[in-house]
């Protein structure tokens, strides 16, 4: 009883003690808030919420963008799941390309960040710039460079590999299903390694020197410092890098499009040989803006949203659990 009444005494004044302050009356404050937020809310409604709802609505129609929409119920979703093998293939391709590129990029970025953060390193800035430079290169240029490098007959890569007797005959880097995915993954690693390195370096710079000093006084060697101090304290940045890489991976578009459809690569279907590099975004783009199936494209985009949300949620949960452990 005593406890109960004590609890009442604490709670009651707290809730009742909120007196409206001058100029802060809830009604008036809300009016101002609504007034000042209105343009932003209108923008979000018009450019964000409405398109999302409109896209959902047209995913149940057959619409070419020229003629009137035709309501077809769940036909687009049925075709997507049951008849069109490209959906699962594009999902598979996206996951495989991400699986090939993200871990390697992350490990390389971590190594570069650790090495290039070293204080006594000669030409540190120059080397940092060298690793970062590919990131600021336009995907068009990357597509052209890699199409040239990996050309089966005239590409530099095959020539080097043959010169070193690693291969006997030129490999069809852009013409074979798995080699095409590997080529794309190499291009992505090359492009994004520098960006991830910068993020990790900024994370490393936030770790206090005191921690390192303490570790060294305790007799920790370089390997131990890296695995016991640097890596655990970088977790926040690593989570950010992994999540953004996963989301970026599902939005992979420019690189495969330009690698297999540049003037240097010769003619391929939009998704490369046997659609080996047809990512989900590319699939959506091709259906919507090349074949003018806006209804079907909308259904693809909704499924993309579901997949991205699901994977982001799962990966955040896994990392969150790791944090608690």
Task: Identify which range of 112-120, 185-193, 209-217, 260-268 contacts other proteins by CB under 8 A.
Answer: 260-268
What is the chain's length? 325
Interface residue with other proteins among 64, 213, 320, 323 (CB under 8 A) is: 64
Q: What is the token pair recorded at 112?
A: 């570069």
**For other proteins, the closer CB: 84 or 254:** 84
221: left (phi over 0), alpha (psi -120 to 50) or beta: beta
**CB of 256: closest distance to other proteins in angstroms?**
14
Is the distance from CB of 172 to CB of 159 less than 8 angstroms? no
Closer to other proteins at the Cβ: 192 or 296? 296
Residue 270: strand, helix, or coil: coil
47 binds other proteins (CB under 8 A): no
The contacts found for 26-29 with CB under 8 angstroms, 24 or more apart, are none
**Neighbour-count burial of 250, counting CB atoms closer than 10 A to its CB (0-12 exposed, 13-18 middle, 19+ buried):** buried
> In terms of CB distance, is 170 or 248 closer to other proteins?
170
Among 55, 56, 69, 84, binds other proteins (CB under 8 A): 84
**Which position among 125, 153, 165, 321 is part of the footprint of other proteins (CB under 8 A)?**
153
Distance CA(219)–CA(224), nearest Å, equals 9
Nearest-angstrom CA–CA distance, 37 and 45: 12
**Site for other proteins contains 30 (CB under 8 A):** no
Q: Is 249 in the site for other proteins (CB under 8 A)?
A: no
Q: Does residue 61 interact with other proteins by CB under 8 A?
A: no
Determine, following the binding rule CB under 8 A, whether residue 151 of this chain makes contact with other proteins: yes
Tell me the closest approach of the beta carbon of residue 8 to other proteins, in angstroms: 41
- Residue 22 found at the interface with other proteins (CB under 8 A): no
Instruction: Kindly write out the interface string for residues 293-312 of this chain, putting x where it contacts other proteins by CB under 8 A and - elsewhere.
Output: x--x----------------
Is residue 291 at the binding interface for other proteins, with CB under 8 A as the rule?
A: yes
Q: Does 128 bind other proteins (CB under 8 A)?
A: no
- Does residue 43 touch other proteins according to CB under 8 A? no
Angstrom distance (rounded) from CA 188 to CA 255: 8
Q: Do 173 and 85 form a contact (C-beta atoms < 8 A)?
A: no
The tokens of 151 are what?
Answer: 């050309």
Residue of the chain from 274, 307, 308, 319 that contacts other proteins (CB under 8 A):
274
Q: Residue count at the site for other proteins (CB under 8 A)?
A: 34
Q: Does 152 bind other proteins (CB under 8 A)?
A: yes
- Is 185:192 a contact under the CB 8 Å cutoff? no
Q: Which two tokens stand for residue 168?
A: 């006997």
Distance CA 60, CA 122 (A): 61
Residue 322 near other proteins by CB under 8 A = no
> Rule CB under 8 A: is residue 290 a binding residue for other proteins?
yes
Q: d(Cα 14, Cα 12) in Å, to the nearest integer?
A: 5
Give least dist CB 19 to other proteins, A. Answer: 21
| Interface pick for other proteins out of 43, 51, 85, 322 (rule CB under 8 A) | 85
Residue 61 bridge partners (DSSP): 71
Distance CA 250, CA 253 (A): 9
Minimum distance from CB of 233 to other proteins (Å)?
49
Q: Quick check: 71 and 293 in contact, CB under 8 A?
A: no
Sites of contact with other proteins (CB under 8 A) = 35, 64-67, 79, 83-86, 151-154, 172, 175-176, 263-270, 273-275, 289-293, 296
């Amino acid at each position: 009883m005593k406890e109960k009444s004590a609890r009442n005494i604490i709670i009651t004044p707290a809730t009742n003690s909120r007196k409206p302050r001058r100029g802060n009356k809830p009604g008036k404050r809300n009016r101002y808030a609504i007034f000042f937020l209105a343009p932003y809310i209108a923008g979000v409604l018009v450019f964000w919420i409405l398109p999302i709802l409109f896209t959902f609505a047209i995913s149940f129609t057959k619409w070419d963008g020229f003629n009137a929409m035709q309501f077809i119920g769940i036909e687009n979703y049925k075709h997507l799941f049951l008849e069109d093998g490209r959906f699962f293939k594009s999902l598979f391709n996206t996951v495989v390309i991400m699986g090939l590129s993200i871990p390697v990029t992350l490990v390389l970025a971590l190594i570069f960040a650790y090495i290039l953060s070293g204080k006594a390193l000669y030409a540190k800035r120059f080397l940092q710039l060298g690793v970062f430079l590919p990131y600021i290169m336009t995907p068009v240029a990357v597509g052209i460079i890699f199409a040239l490098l990996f050309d089966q007959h005239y590409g530099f890569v095959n020539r080097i590999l043959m010169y070193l007797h690693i291969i006997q005959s030129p490999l069809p880097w852009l013409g074979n299903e798995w080699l095409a995915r590997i080529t794309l993954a190499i291009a992505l690693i090359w492009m994004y390694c520098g960006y991830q390195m910068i993020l990790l370096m900024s994370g490393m710079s936030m770790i206090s020197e005191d921690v390192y000093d303490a570790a060294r006084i305790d007799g920790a060697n370089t390997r131990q410092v890296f695995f016991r101090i640097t890596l655990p304290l970088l977790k926040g940045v690593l989570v950010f890098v992994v999540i953004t890489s996963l989301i970026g991976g599902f939005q992979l578009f420019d690189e495969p499009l330009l690698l297999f459809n540049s003037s240097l690569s010769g003619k391929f279907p939009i998704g490369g040989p046997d659609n080996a590099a047809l990512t989900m975004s590319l699939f959506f783009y091709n259906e919507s803006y090349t074949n003018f199936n806006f209804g079907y494209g909308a259904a693809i985009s909704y499924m993309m949203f579901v997949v991205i949300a699901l994977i982001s949620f799962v990966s955040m949960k896994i990392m969150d659990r790791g944090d608690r452990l």
